[in-house]
Amino acid sequence: MQISNYIYFFRYDTNESELCKLESRFIFDKEEKNKLLLSDVKAEPSSSAFIKKRLEIILFSEDYSTLIDKIQREKICAEGFKVEYLVLDGDKTAYAQRLEKLKDIGYCIEGNPEYYKPTITYALCCYGGIWCFGELVKNSFAWYKHKQKPYSYSNSINTNIAKALVNIAAKANKKKKLLDACCGVGTIMLEACFAGNNIEGCDINWKVCRQARENLSHFDYTTNVYRSDIKDISNRYDAAIIDLPYNLFSYADDDTTSHIIESTVEITDRLVIVSTSDIANLINNAGLTISDSCSVRKSGKTNFTRKIWVCEKNG
DSSP 29-85: SS--BTTEEEES----GGG-SSEEEEEEEEEEESSHHHHHHHHHHHT-B-TTEEEEE
DSSP 260-283: HHHHHHTT-SEEEEEESS--HHHH
Q: Which of 204, 280, 189, 295 is nearest to 240 (CA)?
A: 189
Classify residue 113 by its DSSP letter: B
Question: Under 8 Å CB-to-CB from 97, ≥6 apart: which residues?
Answer: none
C-alpha span between 133 and 58 (Å, rounded)? 6
User: What are the residue ranges spanned by the domains of the chain?
Assistant: 6-138, 142-313
C-alpha span between 23 and 44 (Å, rounded)? 13
Longest dimension (CA), the chain: 68
Pick among 3.40.50.920, 3.40.50.150, 3.40.190.10, 2.60.40.3470: CATH of 142-313: 3.40.50.150
C-alpha span between 182 and 199 (Å, rounded)? 13
- The one-digit pLDDT tens for each residue of the chain (315 residues) are 678 999 999 999 999 999 999 999 999 999 999 999 999 999 999 999 999 999 999 999 999 999 999 999 999 999 999 999 999 998 999 999 999 999 999 999 999 999 999 999 999 999 999 999 999 999 999 999 999 999 998 778 999 999 999 999 999 899 999 999 999 999 999 999 999 999 999 999 999 999 999 999 999 999 999 999 999 999 999 999 999 986 544 556 889 999 999 999 999 999 999 999 999 999 999 999 999 999 998 766 556 889 999 999 997
Helix (H) or strand (E) run with residue 186 in it: none
Question: Under 8 Å CB-to-CB from 56, ≥6 apart: which residues?
Answer: 5, 6, 42, 134, 135, 136, 137
| 79 close to 117: Cβ distance less than 8 angstroms | no
Topology (CATH) of 6-138: VC0802-like (3.30.2130)
**DSSP-derived pairing of the beta strands 225-227 and 36-39:** unpaired
**DSSP-derived pairing of the beta strands 288-297 and 198-203:** unpaired
Model's pTM, two decimal places? 0.94
Classify residue 309 by its DSSP letter: E
